[in-house]
Amino acid sequence: RDFNERCAQCSEVNWGLTDGGRFYCRSCHNVTERTREVVNTDFITNSRVQTISKGSRKQEKNGGGSEWYICEGFQLVLKKQVEALEALGVSSQMKDEILCNFWRCYLQKSKQAYCKRPAGKAVKALSVCESSTDVDSDPERPSLLHLLSLSESEGDLQTDCSFASSVSKVSESTSVYSGSVDGSLYLMKSQKEKLRMTMPMTLSFCYMTLLWMREPITLSELLRYVVEGHIPYLNVFQHFPEKMKLCGLDLKIFCVESWPVYEEVFNKMHELAAFLDLPRFPDITESCFLHPDMLCMKYLMEANLPDELHNWTCRVVKKIGIGEVDFLTLVPGNKSTRKVKYDVLAAAVIVVVLKLLFLLDDHYEWLLSEHAEERNKNNTEDGPYFEFKKWYEVVKHSLDVQQKKLDEERAKYLWRCEKPLFYSVKNKAKVLKRRQMVVNLQNQFGKLSGSVQRAEKPNPSSFQLSWSEKNTDGSCFHRHSLKGILQEKRGLLTAMNPDYWLCTVKLCNEKLCGHLAHYKEVEFPQSYHFVLGLFSFLLRVQPSYIHDEVCMIEHKLFNKKLYKKLKYNTVLRK
Tens digits of residue pLDDT in 383-406: 789 999 999 999 999 999 999 999
Q: Is residue 316 domain-resident? A: yes
Domain boundary among 278, 309, 326: 278
Question: Which has the higher per-residue pLDDT, 184 or 80?
Answer: 80
pLDDT of residue 440: 74
216, part of any domain: yes
Query: Does the residue 228 lie in any domain?
Result: yes
Buried b (16+ CB within 10 A) or exposed e, 106-124: bbeebbbbbbebbeeebbe
Q: Is there a single domain that holds both residue 395 and residue 497?
A: yes
Same domain, 1 and 74: no
Residue range 157-165: mean pLDDT, rounded: 39
Question: Is there a domain that residue 375 lies in?
Answer: yes
Residues 479 and 557 in one domain: yes
Say which range, 186-195, 291-300, 513-522, has the weakest mean pLDDT: 186-195
Taking all residues of the chain, what is their mean pLDDT, rounded to a whole number?
77
Most confident of 160-164, 207-211, 519-523: 207-211
Q: What does the pLDDT read at residue 205?
A: 97
How far apart are the C-alpha atoms of 210 and 266, rounded to whole Å? Answer: 13
Same domain, 486 and 395: yes
Contact in structure between 171 and 185 (CB atoms under 8 Å): yes
In this structure, the answer to whether residues 254 and 296 fall within a common structural domain is no
Has residue 336 got a pLDDT over 90? no
Q: Of 255, 278, 301, which residue is a domain's last?
A: 278
**Is the domain of 324 the same as that of 235?**
no
Reference 397, options 330, 287, 473, 336; nearest CA is 473
Domain shared by 524 and 396, yes or no: yes
Q: Are strands 48-50 and 31-35 parallel, antiparallel or unpaired?
A: unpaired
Side chain identity at residue 515, one-letter code: H
pLDDT category of residue 494 using cuts at 50, 70 and 90? confident
In a domain, 442, yes or no: no
Mean pLDDT throughout 66-77?
89
Tell me the β-bridge partners of 495: 486
Work out the number of other CB atoms within 10 angstroms of the CB of residue 244.
20
480 pLDDT exceeds 70? yes
CA angle 204, 207, 210 (to 5 degrees): 150
Q: Tell me the sheet residues that pair with 248.
A: 178
C-alpha–C-alpha distance, residues 171 and 521, integer Å: 52
| Backbone dihedral angles phi then psi of residue 284, each to the nearest 5 degrees | -95, 100
Nearest residue to 320 via CA among 563, 550, 519, 565: 550
Domain of residue 7 covers 1-37
Question: Residue 173: inside a domain, yes or no?
Answer: no
* Residue 32 pLDDT > 60: yes
- The gap from C-alpha 75 to its chain's centroid, in whole angstroms, comes to 15
Same domain for 340 and 256: no
Same domain, 105 and 231: yes
Least confident of 93-107, 213-227, 286-300, 369-383: 369-383
Where is the domain boundary, 244, 278, 312?
A: 278
Do the domain assignments include residue 354? yes
Question: Per the structure, how many domains does the chain have?
Answer: 3
pLDDT value at 428 more than 80: no
Query: In the predicted model, is pLDDT for residue 328 greater than 90?
Result: yes
In this prediction, residue 314 has a pLDDT band, given cuts at 50, 70 and 90, of very high
Identify whether residues 238 and 342 lie together within a single domain.
Answer: no
**What proportion of the chain, given as a percentage, has pLDDT over 90?**
40
Residue 115 DSSP one-character state: S
Judge whether residue 164 has pLDDT over 60: no
Calculate mean pLDDT across residues 18-31: 72
Task: State the pLDDT at residue 423.
Answer: 54
* 91 and 31 part of one domain: no
Q: Which of 280-289, 438-447, 555-564 has the highest mean pLDDT?
A: 280-289
**Nearest partner of 146 among 261, 36, 235, 20, judged by Cα:** 20
Same domain assignment for residues 250 and 335: no
- Look up residue 305 and give its amino acid: L
Classify residue 234: in a domain, yes or no: yes
Residue 395 to residue 417: CA distance in whole angstroms: 36
